[in-house]
Amino acid sequence: MQAELPMIQMVRRPGLIDLAWGHPDPELLPVAALHRAGTAALNAYGPDMLQYGHPNGPGPLVSYLADRIAQREGRRPSPDEFLVTGGISIGLELVLRQVAQPGDVVLVESPTYHLALRIMRDHGLTLIPAPTDEGGLRLDVLAEIVAAQHRSGYPARALYLVPTFNNPTGRSLAAERRPALVALAQEAGLLIIEDDVYRELAYDAPAPPSLWSLAAPGVVARLGAFSKSLAPGLRLGWLNAGPELVNALSNGGLLDSGGGLNHYTALVVAALCQAGDYDPHVAHLIAAYRARRDTLVAALAEHLPGGCRVSAPGGGFFVWVELPEGAESAALLPAAEAAGVAYIPGQRFHLDKRGRNALRLAFSLYPPEQLAEGARRLGAALRG
């Protein structure tokens, strides 16, 4: 008999509390709400739901998101600043394909989302790290890098960053640095690619203003998604960017041939939102993830050896741990897995040799009691 083919990306290893995966707990996924929304959408839209969709995305979802963004961020994206995408990764792929060629220079905050680096490397780009501190990007150093690249004759084309509840650190770009970053980019002709996937998951205070909301049209390409606030399997997100970039994408061969990305799913999610199910679900996620964050941070404080530093995030999925200087998180990983816990070494989130003594832990997948046990196992492994 032929073996059953796998259905999902994650492979669970028996006996291991695997804090490497930034995936949602299946118990938190809105199965019932999406079931209702699917039926409601088919009843409302019928055959039009099964057709090739509008290149920019179906009107019901675009209208809902535009209203929500206007209410929460104080700036309404016009229809020509909106493109529904297949999630953050597809959105990043589309933007890079349009604005950069192999060999072009793209700046990347460091540390940053390690799988976005893979997408950028697929394009043959020259990636240059831009250092951060606890307040996010160091704008003084960034300005020097931008100026040096301009003098070299190879000006940077774009800057990629996760400024709100950064993956992996959970930190956010300081509010006072945000307008300054936008001004720097506008003066330099540098496109900011803002990965804004964690905006809805703010645990202690409202998320800071998006860079897109502070910028003139065309300065920022903001990527949003439902992957963290609803479900990653929807593969549904959006791009807010200048009309020139959005028009180039919506009139390109991909959407001309296939229509809007993920038309059917977009209308299901629109129906869910219109039914009033989105905000209560997000509130439920915030309460659940806040409790998990708090449990993990407290357990790490109890069990990690002296000299370790734990950053408690204001939102998102991750806790960043810095081990004492000289420790190598990659070298310690086999011992941690033997103790029954896993993580991602910090070096993977950097373009250079930094992050060797750091590691990332995800608290989204496991309930609090398993997170506490994972912290205990990690502490035992680090103590040797």
Core vs surface per residue 263-294: b (16+ CB within 10 A) or e: bbbbbbbbbbbbeebbeebbeebbebbbebbe
**Any domain includes 10:** no
Around 378, how many Cα atoms within 13 Å sit in the side-chain half-sphere?
30
Low-confidence ranges of the chain (pLDDT < 50): none
Interatomic CA distance for residues 296 and 368, integer angstroms: 7
pLDDT of residue 235: 97
For tokens 């953050």, what's the residue? 88
pLDDT of residue 11: 83
**Any domain includes 7:** no
Q: Show the DSSP H helices in 194-277 as ranges.
A: 211-214, 243-250, 253-258, 263-274
**Any domain includes 35:** no
pLDDT of residue 12: 84
208 and 77 fall within a common domain: yes
Q: What's the whole-model pTM score?
A: 0.96
Interatomic CA distance for residues 374 and 339, integer angstroms: 9
| Tens digits of residue pLDDT in 264-317 | 999 999 999 999 999 999 999 999 999 999 999 999 999 999 999 999 999 999
Phi first, then psi, for residue 132 (nearest 5°) are: -130, 165
- Name the domain count of the chain: 2
86 and 234 fall within a common domain: yes
Looking at residue 315, which CATH number applies to its domain? 3.90.1150.10
Domain boundary residue, one of 274, 290, 317: 274
DSSP assignment of 273-338, as one string? Answer: HHTT-HHHHHHHHHHHHHHHHHHHHHHHHHHSPTT-EEE--SBSSEEEEEPPTT--HHHHHHHHHH
Domain containing 213 equals 40-274
